[in-house]
Amino acid sequence: MKLVLATHNKYKAKELQTFFTGLPFEVMTLEDMPDSIELREDGYTFNDNALQKARIVHQTTNLTVLADDSGLEVFYLNGRPGVFSARYSGAGATDESNNIKLLEEMRGVPPRRRRAQFRSVLAIVSDGMEKLTEGICSGFLGEQPRGTNGFGYDPLFIPDGFSRTYAELTAQEKNKISHRSRSFDAMRKMLEQGFLNG
Ligand code: ITT
Protein backbone atom coordinates (compact mmCIF):
# COMPACT_ATOMS: atom_id res chain seq x y z
CA MET A 1 0.00 0.00 0.00
CA LYS A 2 1.22 3.50 -0.84
CA LEU A 3 1.67 5.91 2.05
CA VAL A 4 2.77 9.54 1.85
CA LEU A 5 4.76 11.31 4.57
CA ALA A 6 3.27 14.79 4.92
CA THR A 7 6.37 16.72 5.93
CA HIS A 8 8.69 19.21 4.31
CA ASN A 9 11.30 18.49 6.99
CA LYS A 10 13.81 16.12 5.40
CA TYR A 11 15.23 14.99 8.75
CA LYS A 12 11.81 13.99 10.03
CA ALA A 13 11.09 12.23 6.72
CA LYS A 14 14.28 10.23 7.05
CA GLU A 15 13.53 9.15 10.63
CA LEU A 16 9.98 8.14 9.68
CA GLN A 17 11.17 6.22 6.60
CA THR A 18 13.52 4.21 8.83
CA PHE A 19 10.64 3.30 11.15
CA PHE A 20 8.67 1.84 8.24
CA THR A 21 11.38 -0.74 7.50
CA GLY A 22 9.75 -4.18 7.34
CA LEU A 23 6.19 -2.85 7.15
CA PRO A 24 4.18 -3.49 3.96
CA PHE A 25 4.05 0.11 2.74
CA GLU A 26 5.53 1.86 -0.24
CA VAL A 27 6.56 5.03 1.57
CA MET A 28 6.60 8.23 -0.46
CA THR A 29 7.49 11.79 0.44
CA LEU A 30 6.08 15.11 -0.75
CA GLU A 31 9.00 15.26 -3.17
CA ASP A 32 7.49 12.28 -5.00
CA MET A 33 4.26 14.20 -5.57
CA PRO A 34 3.76 15.91 -8.95
CA ASP A 35 2.76 19.28 -7.52
CA SER A 36 4.10 21.07 -4.50
CA ILE A 37 1.74 20.91 -1.52
CA GLU A 38 1.66 23.62 1.10
CA LEU A 39 1.20 22.33 4.67
CA ARG A 40 -0.97 24.65 6.73
CA GLU A 41 -0.57 24.34 10.49
CA ASP A 42 -2.37 27.10 12.30
CA GLY A 43 -3.77 25.06 15.20
CA TYR A 44 -2.81 25.52 18.83
CA THR A 45 -2.21 21.86 19.62
CA PHE A 46 0.05 19.16 18.22
CA ASN A 47 -3.05 17.04 17.52
CA ASP A 48 -4.75 19.75 15.47
CA ASN A 49 -1.63 20.51 13.46
CA ALA A 50 -0.75 16.87 12.77
CA LEU A 51 -4.31 16.19 11.59
CA GLN A 52 -4.38 19.35 9.52
CA LYS A 53 -1.18 18.40 7.68
CA ALA A 54 -2.29 14.81 7.06
CA ARG A 55 -5.74 15.88 5.85
CA ILE A 56 -4.39 18.41 3.34
CA VAL A 57 -2.15 15.80 1.73
CA HIS A 58 -4.87 13.14 1.81
CA GLN A 59 -7.32 15.49 0.10
CA THR A 60 -4.75 16.32 -2.57
CA THR A 61 -3.41 12.81 -3.26
CA ASN A 62 -6.21 10.49 -2.14
CA LEU A 63 -3.53 8.26 -0.63
CA THR A 64 -2.97 7.16 2.97
CA VAL A 65 -0.97 9.90 4.70
CA LEU A 66 1.14 10.15 7.85
CA ALA A 67 2.04 13.52 9.38
CA ASP A 68 4.09 14.43 12.46
CA ASP A 69 3.69 17.53 14.57
CA SER A 70 6.28 17.80 17.26
CA GLY A 71 8.16 20.13 19.52
CA LEU A 72 10.21 20.74 22.62
CA GLU A 73 8.44 21.59 25.89
CA VAL A 74 10.54 23.28 28.56
CA PHE A 75 8.98 23.20 32.03
CA TYR A 76 10.71 26.38 33.24
CA LEU A 77 9.12 28.16 30.24
CA ASN A 78 5.65 26.74 30.92
CA GLY A 79 5.90 24.38 27.96
CA ARG A 80 7.37 26.76 25.41
CA PRO A 81 8.46 26.57 22.61
CA GLY A 82 5.93 23.70 22.30
CA VAL A 83 3.78 23.83 19.17
CA PHE A 84 5.74 26.89 18.08
CA SER A 85 9.08 25.08 18.14
CA ALA A 86 9.80 25.43 14.40
CA ARG A 87 9.26 29.21 14.36
CA TYR A 88 10.26 30.05 17.92
CA SER A 89 12.62 32.87 17.01
CA GLY A 90 10.14 34.48 14.59
CA ALA A 91 9.80 34.85 10.84
CA GLY A 92 12.81 33.39 9.05
CA ALA A 93 13.67 31.25 12.09
CA THR A 94 16.44 28.67 11.62
CA ASP A 95 17.47 25.81 13.89
CA GLU A 96 20.44 27.93 14.95
CA SER A 97 18.42 31.07 15.75
CA ASN A 98 15.89 28.96 17.68
CA ASN A 99 18.65 27.35 19.73
CA ILE A 100 20.23 30.74 20.46
CA LYS A 101 16.90 32.18 21.62
CA LEU A 102 16.20 29.21 23.86
CA LEU A 103 19.67 29.29 25.41
CA GLU A 104 19.29 33.00 26.08
CA GLU A 105 15.96 32.47 27.82
CA MET A 106 17.49 29.72 29.93
CA ARG A 107 20.69 31.57 30.77
CA GLY A 108 21.56 31.19 34.47
CA VAL A 109 18.80 28.63 35.10
CA PRO A 110 20.35 25.84 37.21
CA PRO A 111 20.45 22.22 35.96
CA ARG A 112 17.63 21.00 38.23
CA ARG A 113 15.27 23.53 36.65
CA ARG A 114 16.20 22.69 33.06
CA ARG A 115 13.78 19.74 32.65
CA ALA A 116 12.29 19.42 29.18
CA GLN A 117 10.56 16.91 26.96
CA PHE A 118 10.11 16.35 23.27
CA ARG A 119 6.64 15.40 22.09
CA SER A 120 5.60 13.91 18.75
CA VAL A 121 2.03 13.47 17.60
CA LEU A 122 1.55 11.33 14.52
CA ALA A 123 -1.66 11.52 12.51
CA ILE A 124 -2.63 8.96 9.93
CA VAL A 125 -5.46 9.75 7.55
CA SER A 126 -6.94 7.33 5.09
CA ASP A 127 -10.35 7.07 3.39
CA GLY A 128 -12.87 7.77 6.14
CA MET A 129 -10.35 7.04 8.93
CA GLU A 130 -8.18 9.18 11.15
CA LYS A 131 -5.97 8.16 14.07
CA LEU A 132 -3.48 9.90 16.34
CA THR A 133 -0.63 8.58 18.46
CA GLU A 134 1.74 10.37 20.80
CA GLY A 135 5.26 9.82 22.10
CA ILE A 136 7.31 11.68 24.68
CA CYS A 137 11.02 11.62 25.50
CA SER A 138 12.03 13.31 28.77
CA GLY A 139 15.36 14.87 29.58
CA PHE A 140 16.94 18.24 30.23
CA LEU A 141 18.57 21.13 28.44
CA GLY A 142 22.32 21.54 28.26
CA GLU A 143 24.00 24.92 28.67
CA GLN A 144 25.48 25.05 25.19
CA PRO A 145 24.93 23.30 21.86
CA ARG A 146 26.78 19.97 21.55
CA GLY A 147 26.93 17.57 18.60
CA THR A 148 26.25 17.80 14.90
CA ASN A 149 23.82 14.97 14.16
CA GLY A 150 20.11 15.46 13.67
CA PHE A 151 18.29 18.78 13.46
CA GLY A 152 16.31 21.38 15.38
CA TYR A 153 16.97 21.42 19.12
CA ASP A 154 18.95 18.16 19.05
CA PRO A 155 22.21 19.86 20.18
CA LEU A 156 20.52 21.18 23.36
CA PHE A 157 18.54 18.15 24.55
CA ILE A 158 20.03 15.46 26.81
CA PRO A 159 17.60 12.54 27.09
CA ASP A 160 17.25 10.80 30.46
CA GLY A 161 19.75 7.97 30.84
CA PHE A 162 22.34 9.66 28.62
CA SER A 163 25.06 12.23 29.16
CA ARG A 164 25.12 13.05 25.45
CA THR A 165 22.71 15.29 23.56
CA TYR A 166 20.38 13.94 20.85
CA ALA A 167 22.86 15.51 18.38
CA GLU A 168 25.70 13.44 19.87
CA LEU A 169 23.76 10.19 19.53
CA THR A 170 23.93 8.16 16.35
CA ALA A 171 20.73 8.02 14.30
CA GLN A 172 20.19 4.44 15.55
CA GLU A 173 20.57 5.50 19.19
CA LYS A 174 18.20 8.43 18.81
CA ASN A 175 15.67 6.32 16.92
CA LYS A 176 15.54 3.76 19.74
CA ILE A 177 14.43 6.24 22.40
CA SER A 178 13.12 9.33 20.67
CA HIS A 179 9.68 10.90 21.06
CA ARG A 180 9.02 10.19 17.37
CA SER A 181 10.00 6.52 17.64
CA ARG A 182 7.77 6.11 20.70
CA SER A 183 4.88 7.69 18.85
CA PHE A 184 5.60 5.46 15.88
CA ASP A 185 5.66 2.33 18.07
CA ALA A 186 2.04 3.06 19.00
CA MET A 187 1.23 3.74 15.33
CA ARG A 188 2.91 0.50 14.26
CA LYS A 189 0.75 -1.47 16.70
CA MET A 190 -2.37 0.06 15.19
CA LEU A 191 -1.19 -0.68 11.66
CA GLU A 192 -0.33 -4.27 12.59
CA GLN A 193 -3.78 -4.72 14.11
CA GLY A 194 -5.19 -3.90 10.67
CA PHE A 195 -6.58 -0.45 11.48
CA LEU A 196 -6.40 0.52 7.80
CA ASN A 197 -8.52 -2.46 6.78
CA GLY A 198 -11.43 -1.21 8.88
P1 ITT B 1 6.74 19.84 8.80
O2 ITT B 1 5.63 20.67 9.42
O3 ITT B 1 6.89 20.05 7.35
O4 ITT B 1 6.63 18.40 9.19
P5 ITT B 1 8.42 21.27 10.71
O6 ITT B 1 9.87 21.19 11.03
O7 ITT B 1 7.83 22.65 10.47
O8 ITT B 1 8.15 20.33 9.44
P9 ITT B 1 6.80 21.03 13.09
O10 ITT B 1 5.90 22.14 12.74
O11 ITT B 1 6.21 19.78 13.68
O12 ITT B 1 7.60 20.52 11.81
O13 ITT B 1 7.91 21.60 14.04
C14 ITT B 1 8.71 20.75 14.76
C15 ITT B 1 9.89 21.51 15.30
O16 ITT B 1 10.18 20.99 16.61
C17 ITT B 1 11.13 21.24 14.45
O18 ITT B 1 11.27 22.20 13.42
C19 ITT B 1 12.23 21.32 15.50
O20 ITT B 1 12.54 22.66 15.77
C21 ITT B 1 11.55 20.73 16.73
N22 ITT B 1 11.72 19.27 16.74
C23 ITT B 1 10.77 18.30 16.58
N24 ITT B 1 11.31 17.07 16.61
C25 ITT B 1 12.62 17.24 16.80
C26 ITT B 1 13.72 16.37 16.91
O27 ITT B 1 13.58 15.06 16.77
N28 ITT B 1 14.92 16.92 17.11
C29 ITT B 1 15.09 18.24 17.22
N30 ITT B 1 14.12 19.13 17.11
C31 ITT B 1 12.89 18.65 16.89
pLDDT at 27 over 80: yes
pLDDT number for residue 118: 98
List the CATH number of the domain containing 130: 3.90.950.10
pLDDT number for residue 158: 98
pLDDT at 119 over 90: yes
Domain tally, the chain: 1
**Catalytic residue positions, numbered:** 69
pLDDT number for residue 159: 98
CB of 71 sitting under 6 A from ligand 1? yes
Nearest-atom number in ligand 1 for the CA of 70 is 11
Order of all β-strands in the sheet with 26-29: 26-29, 2-5, 64-74, 115-126, 129-141, 157-159
Write the CA distances from 69 to 7, 144, 161, integer angstroms: 9, 25, 25
Domain that holds residue 23: 2-197
Q: What would the pLDDT profile of 127-159 be if each residue is shown by its tens digit?
A: 989 999 999 999 999 999 999 999 999 999 999
CB of 159 sitting under 6 A from ligand 1? no
Q: What would the pLDDT profile of 52-108 be if each residue is shown by its tens digit?
A: 999 999 999 999 999 999 999 999 999 999 999 999 999 999 999 999 999 999 999
Nearest-atom number in ligand 1 for the CA of 15 is 27
CB of 12 sitting under 6 A from ligand 1? yes
Distance separating alpha carbons of residues 102 and 61, to the nearest angstrom: 37
Weakest mean pLDDT among 26-30, 39-43, 158-162, 179-183: 39-43
